Structure 1
């Protein structure tokens, strides 16, 4: 009857500038799509060159190599008899665009440039690309000679147009266009487009996946239609992790769902759907165009059908219930997948983690353990690429991990770097956790190194600094804490480079950091201390979420020692013990709790609050526990700490991006690092408001 279509979308683990690898993964996805009967294949945004090329988009080489890959795709027998929709950068009239290229049987059908750009948070598309702002307009694009030689075409349509096959009409959206209030699918649907496609490079954030699903369901609930969503997967070479979630929807229902977190480099989702279901839905929901609607879309006609004449017995996909991960599961899976991509592509042999026995470093350790669980499961499921990568990492072609604990012992080295200020409790907690996850563990005492450095200072100056507890000044106390922290960083890198050598094994280790997002907000860490590392899997995660994550690990991964870690007060253990017990705690040092910091961080970044507006919000949010004066004190204290320590963000370890209130100076949070830390005008406004508030509401 010619009314049922089989379409394919995918998640690909593309890597910026890895043209050869990217080409191979695209071809594999097309091959899988065809094997499932699909006649249309959609891929992620900028999949040919990789989304994260950043300023490499300015280079002519990136455009050249993208066209070379496109030529390979056009010539490949794999891409014949299926409409392929691929993403790449293209320069038209000396303007650079983020484009989709649709081709069939060695002919380019159309080039559709992105119209609405992602230009906030982690995204800087307006830096490299221009939006196509000519609605419903199509121009001629002159193809490079290397493409003309294959296609026999001199020019192809370029612009805001749709593809009309013999049986249906297909319209394109690109990533951020779905999120925009003027999404193209609205007008395309009103103009009779039945299949919408969206190629994305959308990153993972905690608690974000439902937003995508709801937007896609909404897009097809309003006016009917089929929606295909493709997404990048993996670490593209930066701080974000693209989390897949390829899907297909029809008339407000999801009918096919890809994995959100997976070690598969290529995942293809196919669905068979009945076009008559779209037409019946629209027959009741949609009305003819109103008089002032824009002109119809330019339709590029192609002599090809997505359906076949004998599809009456072909079953169609039915609605499914989307499974959302809990935030604890997301922390367990997202950073773990990101770490695996980073490790296997870095050429290193594993990780080195300073393990203090506290929540933060224990969280980093548990994420590595979770990575090992995912790797072993992927190998058990027959993923030959993962097994090959594992063998390369451990330097043993015959290695086949039998258990996550065994693998963890091969690729994770942990070390407890204690001093005379460290307690036995933290030492035992670190040792017990290392035993539970199977890491190769070491105990290192740093006292000799600290005394040696202080001896050099004393030899030069004739002075020996003292802790505050021994009568020293604040400056002495802080310097003595910092030297311990920085010694740990030096030792972590020394052991990362040479510990495998000392064991007669090849390779070096990547140093893992473990500073959480809340500590970064206030700068509660030493610059160039053991929070300085190669990468940090928890740098975008709040302390509150990390505690919930460890509780999840204790319950689901049987890491029972985590309960004692969770019960202990967070401490840096950089000041002398009192009667053998810790006297220094993180929350006391910071002057606020971690839960308070999370609220402040969200107000600062997400709600765009300065000191005064933050105070005005918090006096209502915290009215049951704090007076206006106390709220004012908290706000002032935070902004002093934030501004005094903002310079630390210029050197912060590249961290997995998981929170939208991340203070990462390098990519996400573009704010100064030299401030007037007195905030005189702002704090005076707060003081005036406190006075007015207390005058109106005197204490009873």
Structure 2
């Protein structure tokens, strides 16, 4: 089970006070939603009568017509396994209430009155309606059924994990503490808001911010359905602007001022919401501080688990990289400055005289060097404080060697070249290793020799060794233990490989370091990712490509995000990967590298348990002092068994 459910907001065509007409348009929207696979459908506030009926709400014929329409809609939808929320005026306890009526398979599950009634500017609701707190009864007979009523209702699909639905109405969301805040604390993961929000200049932007913020605070999905242009335009205009959000993430919106029926839908991830709530411990701890609504009646119902129709929600194959160009530019600027500021602070605190970096001509060391340059510029110290060391070995190609030299030269840092070949050969002799055997000893000797050189140079110059390894390498354990795995400050430790590439390209595109530096950066980007620990091929080209050995980094970064950020199962991750990488990788290839990810991730925890300090730059980090604490001897059997079954 993937724990997705499709929610929707409907904006039907409407005639003020014409309940039979509105009833038919509501049923038309229901039919459209059914064809789209929607399971939870929200209509606007008072959609059966229209929100702008004004003193007609005092007319009994209108109230009775609304009740009859609700009864008819319930009968017409009795075979539909869909939660449907309708808005209607309801008489009870000698008062009239602005209510949301919840239907499922022809049954009225509950009625929720509006809590906060606007009575300012163009709104006069207190003239016609009473607040939910004025309600005396807890149930009523309505549309021929005995129905619970109150603002204390949560609708619990007891056979669907994590699905509990809460309702608040329009102005309820605008209050200092919306009812949805309490609803979410007591379990509601899907919040529905039937609304009648008139259109004003810039109000659409505010509406977005309001819904996004509340869905984020409540760690919930939020369906906001607003009244459309059929409402009276006597003094106000209604556009039907409706929005869908999930934990602050935009899922969709309607077209404003449409003359036709609209149903906007998206799949929400109930498992994701439940996982986020468990992780954010401040969410549940506030239960003890709740001074408002403390008890809720859970209205139980059963919902079928039909096949998912038309998967619809944002899903990026590159979850660490924003798609919008403006957002991407801002993100790169922010990450780059987090890295540089972290390094600058460590440089100052340790009273170091140099920043020592090994430069290979590859992506990671290039980004680390750029960060060090920015740190020096930020501190107002000359770049010659950076001691950049290139250490050619058995696998170094002319391309990466020349790129390393050119980059160091153009950036104006202190350059040093030390070949590791002789030292490595001496070490082979010391430990009696045949240098013609290109095994892990052959490779790791080189990595550790390079780290030893950097550490000793740092001691000699009063310096600090800047680590270059990235987040993806940490996840896969693609680093030599106590070799390139170790440093005095790892600036790339929170940056996944796909984002390293983007950051280097971003610096190149800015062209602030000069045309020659940008040209080298672009060539670094075009160079295959490799540790260059094996001799080049007969043409002098790289003979050891990392992604041929461990798998494509774009896949591993995708897996990493889903595993660590949300704790998803292999089955769900494969499901998402098949959608995200459709046409790029087949199922067999995805499974191959997913299996490799789990194998390496569990086996290599010991390297993550002793990571050097480094800045966290995003929501995901593998530092043992921060986001990820895992025993080094944990078994991966549960995950691997599931992958095998796939």
TM-score calculated relative to the size of structure 2: 0.48
